[in-house]
Amino acid sequence: MPTIRVTSSAGPYRVVCAPGAVGRVREHLSSLGTHTGIFFLSSPRVWGHCGPAVARAIPGGAARQPILFDDRESAKRLAAVEGIARMLVRAGADRHAILIAVGGGVVGDVAGFAAACYLRGVRLVHVPTTLVAQVDSAVGGKTGVNLPEGKNLVGAFYPPRLVIADPNLLATLPHREFRSGLYEVIKYGVIADAGLFRFLERKMDTVLRRDASALSFIISRSIGIKARVASADEREGGLRQILNFGHTFGHALETATGYRRFLHGEAVAWGMIVAARIAQATERLASEDAHRVVRLVAAVGPLPAMPVISPTKLRGILLGDKKAHGGRVLWVLPGRIGKTAWGIDVPWPVIWRSVQNAPEMFAEARRGLAAEAEAHGRMRR
């Protein structure tokens, strides 16, 4: 069964990435040694879809009543971590317990932070059930919750002991959430893998149909990139910053809209468009490549409209981002497809013009794709 190894300060861990991996979770858990109990952390919605299949695969008697919490981004707060910790105490979880987070990015972030804090750290296993969690958030050890002032401003680096990424769990994922995860896959192509980017350009229709072979390819390829980057720079001192491509403006969008308008990947999609435009405007990225990035984002589907945000408000949110340094917003910008630089200071007028240009760039790309589809349809007729 395909396994990707990730190194961390707490020791190496495995990401098992294969269809049907959840059915063998008992076998994979055996590598973690003895425990005093297994405790599931999930949300009511996710547990209803995926929980029974995960619980059935656990050794008899170990599967307890799950601890369920709200997995909306707007509910990703410190109060959720406290609630989980109190339920773990009442359930009798001690330092030798194993917590299994079953869900998407919010479940993983909140459960991971709870695991890092509870009794000063208990073992954590991720079973990601969304595309964005499988290719991104479940790997690398970042955990955290939001504050009203910004996203993920309270958290910890806390690597899991095991990640089980089973593409079969994506079968019931709503299409909008599936598309949201694809934006993170596009990110990997832009920052580190021109071959993956070209595959998405050629095969996006196949990927959107959730073809099993295409899914296995893009998921394993994305996890491989995340594993290499996180292993080389666990605490984001340098190289790992490239994973924030699209996230600087994306996080600002989420904050400005109270985490209620955009799915995370959708906000990152707008962030990638803005970053591509900034890179083009500063002559770091050729116009052709900037338009390829926007076009690939547009090929995934429609996005919620970008809201009207005043320049003063946007600048304040950006300066409050955890990646800001000394009163400067530092950007991740591509130099070409597959090659990216980080820590780039950009003049505010360039940022603001790029934000203003982004909606038309996206609309133009969508119009171009629609015209091509119509012409193709006429040719077929």
Catalytic residue IDs: 120, 142, 184, 226, 236, 240, 244, 247, 251, 264
Residue 331: helix, strand or coil by DSSP? strand
Q: What are the backbone angles phi and psi of residue 3, rounded to the nearest 5°?
A: -135, 135
Q: Which two tokens stand for residue 261?
A: 């308008």
Instruction: Name the residue with tokens 């803005």.
Output: 274
Q: How many CB atoms lie within 10 A of CB 375?
A: 10
Tell me the C-alpha distance between 42 and 28, whole Å. 20
Pairing of strands 98-103, 123-128: parallel
Residues 248/271, Cβ–Cβ less than 8 Å: yes
Q: Which residues pair with 143 in a beta bridge?
A: 156
Q: Which residues pair with 154 in a beta bridge?
A: 145
Query: How many Cα atoms sit within 13 Å of 18 on the Cβ side?
Result: 12
Residues 340/192, Cβ–Cβ less than 8 Å: yes
Tell me the C-alpha distance between 149 and 143, whole Å. 17
Q: Which two tokens stand for residue 370?
A: 């629609």
Q: Which two tokens stand for residue 191?
A: 């920052």
Distance of CA 8 to the CA centre of its chain: 19
Tell me the C-alpha distance between 145 and 152, whole Å. 5
